[in-house]
Amino acid sequence: MGGGSEHRGPARGAGGERRSTGTGAATCGSGWARLGRWRLAALLVALPLLAACPPAETRPPEGGGAPTDSSPLPPLAYPDLGASTPAATPAGGAPAGDAAETPQLTWQQRLAIDIDGFKRDDALLYMKVRTAIPDDDDPNDPAFIALLTRDRRSAAVILARLLSRSEPVEARIALAEQLPFTRGDWDEGASVLIRLDPDAAVRKALVGTMRFAKAPHASAGLANGLRDEEAEVRAAAARIAGFQPDAATIEGAMVECLLGDSEWEARAAIARSFGALGLRSAFSALIGALGDRDPRVRIEALRALERIDPTAAAATPEVREQARSRDSRVAEAARRILRAASAESGAAGR
């Protein structure tokens, strides 16, 4: 068409076929040549870097031999929800992290787990334990004791029965006294019930079980007993403390009872327990107890001082004053300390 720029299509031969002008091929060829030169240059630069890199370390399996893709993976470890074990700690001493911590269950949760498992595994025995009472109200009934000690999970059933508070006091006392012989998970629950149970006789029975409880529940239960409103429970806790090494961790509560309890039986029992435990740190408190208004407390304090350190005790004016007491039993206990100290000094001088 005139006046317009002429559109030139591809060159065609005489027969109408297309023919290349050669320009596009030359351009493409020169582009590939430039790309090839760039690749070659990059490869030459990378070769020294690759040679300097150390080979990847291949860790053989622990059993020895070459590693294979079919080597078994270690099994997954799941926490035991029936135990209250602490989380694993790495070699540096720091906690392994929140993800690695083992769940810590309360004693009520552990009790529920034990009861559920007991029902599932042996429903008949569970029901017998759930309803067992001693014949003729005899807590030493052999059949009653044998039944409660057949399965360690009986401890959870006994604690549940005590928590229900629906049975006669005599039956609950008998149940409490059997807790240590179940060999189950009873220590913490019993120590808490000493503070919660409404009956003093049951609390006293639970205090008695603390003689066999594990730390730290033994000392927690004894501390609850020493703070009880009933004198008979406090005196029981004071006596049991002398048989429980864990009681040394509640020395402050024991000293408070020794110097401030309103009942002489509790004060005397604490003094005796200090001597049984051999607590040297209680020496000053025992010297203070020599001013007690009840001679029975002073006698126990003097006996404890004799066991702990007679030489140091003999050197105090309080002990020498008690040796002149009008109460012959008090005076004799103090003179025994003086004689023991004299014998020790004589033996050291030889």
Q: What is the pTM of this model?
A: 0.70
Distance CA 181, CA 130 (A): 16
- List the one residue out of 335, 266, 345 whose CA is nearest residue 303: 335
Contact 195, 223 (CB under 8 A): no
Residue 39, pLDDT > 80, answer no
CA atoms within 13 A on the CB side of 131: 5
CA nearest neighbour of 160 among 129, 139, 137: 129
Interatomic CA distance for residues 217 and 202, integer angstroms: 18
pLDDT tens track for 89-100: 434 444 445 545
DSSP classification of residue 85? P
3-state SS assignment for residue 192 = helix
Helices (H), 294-327: 295-308, 310-314, 317-322
* Residue with the larger pLDDT of the pair 145 and 71: 145
Question: What does the pLDDT look like over 6-37, one tens digit per residue?
Answer: 444 444 444 444 444 444 444 444 444 444 45
pLDDT recorded at residue 103: 78
How does pLDDT run across 168-221, given as a tens digit for each residue?
A: 999 999 999 999 999 999 999 999 999 999 999 999 999 999 999 999 999 999
Nearest Cα to 235, choosing from 204, 193, 191?
A: 204
Region 277-286: what's the mean pLDDT? 97
At residue 137, the pLDDT reads 64
Residue 173, helix vs strand vs coil: helix
Here the tokens at position 68 are: 């294979």
* Amino acid of residue 228: D
* Secondary structure class of 247 (helix, strand, coil): helix
Rounded Cα distance, 224 and 348, in Å = 44
Which of the residue ranges 81-85, 116-120, 338-342 has the most confident prediction, judged by mean pLDDT? 116-120
